[in-house]
Structure 1
Amino acid sequence: MSALRPAKSENLDGPEIPDPTESAEEILHEEKISMLRQPVAVWATAVAAVFAFMGIGLVDPILPAIAKNLEASPSEVSLLFTSYFLVTAIAMLLTGWVSSRIGGKKTLLIGLALIVVFASLAGFSGSVSQLVGFRAGWGLGNALFVATALAVIVGVASGGTATAIILYEAALGLGISLGPLLGALLGGWQWRAPFFGTATAMAIAFIACAALLPKMAPPTAKTRLRDPLLALGHKGLRFTAGSALFYNFGFFTILAFTPFILGMDAYGIGAVFFGWGACLAVTSVFVAPVLQRWLGTVKVVIATLAGLAVVLLVMGLAAGHSVPLVVAMVVLSGALLGINNTLYTELAMGVSDAPRPVASAGYNFVRWMGGALAPFVAAQLGEHFGAQVPFFAAAVAILIGIAVVLLGRKHLAVAGH
């Protein structure tokens, strides 16, 4: 089993020593039980995370409608993703500094409150520039919530780090899959409605977390602003984050550019990306752990990245010629993305000797830059060189991601991957 999948959870006195007489089946059974037996704080945070991650894919089905109603080009509309993820990436460097001074619960609640405010303002936008600006504020709230949510779940979940990460990735997958569905259902009625719907959902999450999360005192050790960047000095974390940057470039090329070439209304786009997100959710929770046990993390990451590069190549060849084939590749890509989401997160949380929140902040700072660059670059390439080129560029980015993993393989192997 991977070093990131301990057979026993850690207690307050230190890590328990796995029983060498336990079989793999017994260990797997215990992990499944611990997955369901979680404190209320874990479930409250996970549900809030589902709502938060819905915001990523929420705008997907309404991108063409936003472009039409606000008289904007695809590249201008793509800035909805770019501003969101750029601010998210930069704010990741601040999350540890904030949460180590005011505590995890207060940080979560501030993040949720900011999302409520800026999602509501986005619904009132009168121009694409206003909408882009409000999405940037939304990204700040998202960073404060998401980074802290992972640390909270890892800190209080029963079953160890691996179980906590699977729960977190389950929330991510479910949120990403439901986001396009909510965006389609509300956006098919009025393009502003999904923003107000998100604000309402996050307000509910705010109330739930305020009521159910216990008071969390700030940690004794305070995180410095430069600590996440210093954590990237660890070669294992640096190679993981570098590969994830190129991986996210491919990820968000699919998410942000594909709606413009499908030629569908909000309901059609929402259905396609609901299927995509459902595959992502299923493989992140059920398939990734199995493949990891069989082959090891690094081998699975390389194999799924190679598969994703092929999918992007096929999407490029099909763009403008076969919408059904593009749709099939979008859904298939979700299965590959789900596997890699889980494994990249586990690598980032386990490969470094830095505290998990610090390592997570440094990793997310780098990887979300890929999410910030991809939508705008893809839209620009599509407008100037044709619909095929963004997918070919994304395939090249994925190949670079594979090269980074191969170059850093010995540093990842040191951690037992």
Structure 2
Amino acid sequence: MQVWAVAFASVVAFMGIGLVDPILPAIAEQLHATPAESELLFTSYLVITGLMMLFTSFVSSRIGAKRTLLIGLGFILVFAFLCAVSGSVDAVIGFRAGWGLGNALFISTALATIVGAAAGGSANAIMLYEAALGLGLAVGPLVGGLLGEVTWRAPFFGVATLMAIAIMAIAVLLRAPADRPEPVRLTAAFRALATPALGLLATAAIFYNIAFFVLLAYSPFPLGFSALGIGFTFFGWGLGLAITSIWGAPLLLHVVRRTTAIAIILPLIAVDLVVAGLLVHSKPALVTCIVVGGLLFGFMNTILTETVMEATDIPRSIASSSYSGVRFLGGAAAPPLAAVLAEHWGDTAPYVFGAIAALIAAVIVVSGRRLLARADTGHETAVDQAQAVLVGDAD
């Protein structure tokens, strides 16, 4: 029951990433905001999530995993509700920042909790958790689209309601561990970034996340669909991402090394974005590129994060918080920049920008391959692979 409680909370928490996608045009129209202003709903959320991820290992080591989870979920509930009752786009942007704080506290602690609750890392429990993460990423846009047909406020009310259920489930069902975790230094995540391999991968992740969020956050505008149409489109995106992150990436890594896989997938992402930009005014072509992009991003999320986990001997909780914090900050810049580029140079420009970012990420990884030799020779347990999926899908 502990595992099911955390898994349910994970579905709801990860729904928040894509939830606003289908309602961005409606928010822009009804709150009299420009596309660039409405894209700040992603930026405020990602900036605070990224910054807090650099400190969450310090927080959870002091107050414990269960309290950290409950505080994080409480923040999500409160700020989702405040988003729903907001009267201006500036208010929604601000409350999404608070939502990001809660999300950082939750996702940074969830893996350790699920493994501990599963009494030694049961393979079935881990697969359940991976499925929960994929389900949240896929269902978020769909729920946003379905409820967004009623009003743009409805998806936020929906998340607040589901989060209240998740909080009660964790409060009642999850037992706090008897042993207190070893305290982590406040500066641990920053010190970790000074490690050459982790620093290199974090830099690559900045550019990778730009490509990721150009496709995710900007595409609802040129699609021109209703909220429901956007929701179904990004349900396909999220489903593809979940499938390849959970099953596709491990299969690929049986054939090639991690850095080789990165060198293959990132240029394919660039090609997909260029095609999306050139065919942006063809709705069937753009939908196809979005779904194909989800498949490619699923490979990259898991492979890139596995590389981070294996590239150094830094404790995994610290390495993941350092890396995730930086990559979220990279993604935060993409949505408003994409909107500004489209305003000045047309709808093709954001996708070209994202393609260039993906290629830069590939060059960084390939040029620093010597630093990543440890990651190419490392061997993972099932628990390690689950952690890679967790942190990868958290993006």
Question: Of residues 189, 192, 198 in structure 2, which corresponds to 1:231?
Answer: 192
Give 1:286's match in structure 2, choosing from 243, 247, 253.
247
Q: Does structure 2 retain, via aligned residues, the 8 Å contact 1:158–1:164?
A: no
1:288-319 per-residue CA deviation (whole Å, 9 max, x = no partner) reads 11111111222112211111110001011112
Give per-residue Cα distances to partners, 1:99-138, cap 9 Å, x unaligned. Answer: 0111011101100000000000000010000000000000
Cα distance, 1:248–1:397 mapped onto 2, change above 3 Å: same
Preserved contact between residue 78 and residue 376 of structure 1 (Cα < 8 Å) = yes
Aligned partner (choices 329, 344, 360) of residue 384 of structure 1: 344
- Picking from 36, 50, 53, the partner of 2:14 is 53
Q: For 1:319, which of 271, 280, 286 is the aligned residue?
A: 280
**2:73 paired residue number:** 112
Give 1:347's aligned residue.
307
Q: 1-side partners of 2:125 and 2:270: how far apart? A: 29
Letter in 2 for 1:259: P
Q: Which amino acid aligns with 1:400?
A: I
Q: Could you tell me how far apart the structure 1 residues matched to 2:124 and 2:365 are?
A: 24
Give the distance between the partners of 2:307 and 2:121, measured in 1 at CA.
15
Alignment match, 1:304: 265
Tell me how far apart the structure 1 counterparts of residues 47 and 264 of structure 2 sit (CA, whole Å).
Answer: 29
Structure 1 residues 278-287 or 165-174, which shifts more?
Answer: 165-174
CA 1:158 to 1:236, structure 2 compared with 1: closer, same or farther past 3 Å? farther
- CA apart distance, 1:323: 1.5
Distance 1:165 1:89 in 2: 25
Q: 1:157 Cα shift?
A: 5.0
Give secondary structure in 1 for the equivalent of 2:254.
helix
Q: For 2:119 and 2:285, how far apart are their aligned partners in 1? A: 42
Corresponding residue for residue 4 of structure 1: none
SS of residue in 2 equivalent to 1:147: helix
Letter in 2 for 1:280: L
2:364 aligns to what? 404
**RMSD after superposition:** 1.9
Q: For residues 214 and 347 of structure 1, what CA distance do their matches in structure 2 show?
A: 32
Task: Output the amino acid matched with 1:115.
Answer: I
Residue 296 of structure 1 aligns to which amino acid in structure 2? R
1:352 Cα shift?
2.4
| Aligned equivalents of 2:350, 2:129: Cα separation in 1 | 30
Tell me the amino acid that sits aligned with residue 205 of structure 1.
A
What is the distance in 2 between the residues matched to 1:341 and 1:145? 19
Map 1:53-92 to 2 at 5 A. 53-92=14-53
* Worse-matched range after superposition: 293-302 or 250-259: 293-302
Q: Which amino acid in the other structure matches residue 294 of structure 2?
A: G
Asked if 1 retains the 8 angstrom alpha-carbon contact of 2:44 and 2:100, the reply is yes
Counterpart of 2:62 in structure 1 is 101
Using the size of structure 1 for normalisation, the TM-score is 0.86
CA distance, structure 1, for counterparts of residue 105 and residue 23 of structure 2: 26
Contact persistence 2:311–2:373 (CA under 8 A): no
| Cα separation, partners in 2 of 1:278 and 1:379, compared to 1, 3 Å | same
Quote the residue 2:93 is aligned against: 132
The answer to whether 1:357 aligns with 2:317 is: yes
Note the C-alpha offset of 1:41: 3.3
Supply the distance in 2 between the matched residues of 1:92 and 1:206 (Cα, whole angstroms).
21
Which of residues 205, 224, 230 is equivalent to 2:166? 205
- In the alignment, what sits opposite 1:8? none
Between structure 1 and structure 2, the one with the greater Rg is 1
- Distance (whole Å) between structure 2 residues aligned to residue 229 and residue 342 of structure 1: 23
Bigger shift: 213-222 or 78-87? 213-222
Aligned residues: 377
TM-score (norm 2): 0.91
Q: How far apart in 2 are the matches of 1:270 and 1:81?
A: 16
Deviation at 1:403, TM superposition (A): 0.9
Distance in 2 (alpha carbons) for counterparts of 1:315 and 1:146? 31
Contiguous gaps of at least 5 residues in structure 1: 1-39
- Residue correspondence of structure 1 range 4-23 to structure 2 within 5 A: none
Is 1:221 the equivalent of 2:151?
no
Contact 1:309 1:399 in 2 (8 A): yes
Residues 204 and 360, structure 2, Cα contact 8 Å, conserved in 1? yes
Post-superposition Cα deviations, 1:125-166, rounded to whole Å, max 9, x if no partner, equal 100000000000000000000111133335555786999887
Q: Is contact 1:165-1:342 (8 Å) kept?
A: no
User: Counterpart in 2 of 1:263?
Assistant: 224
In structure 2, do the counterparts of structure 1 residues 372 and 156 end up closer, same or farther at CA, with 3 Å as the change threshold? same
Aligned partners of 1:97 and 1:225 also within 8 Å: yes
Give, in angstroms, the shift of residue 346 of structure 1.
1.8
The answer to whether the Cα contact below 8 Å between 1:102 and 1:218 also exists between their aligned partners in 2 is no
Q: Distance in 2 between matches of 1:228 and 1:166?
A: 28
Distance between the aligned counterparts of 2:137 and 2:67, measured in 1?
25
The residue aligned with 2:211 is 250
* Deviations 1:225-262, CA, capped at 9 Å, x for gaps: 21001111222222222212111111111111000001
List per-residue Cα deviations over 1:242-287 (Å, max 9, x = no partner). Answer: 2121111111111110000011100111111011111111111111
Q: Give, in whole Å, the separation in 2 of the partners of 1:409 and 1:153.
A: 33
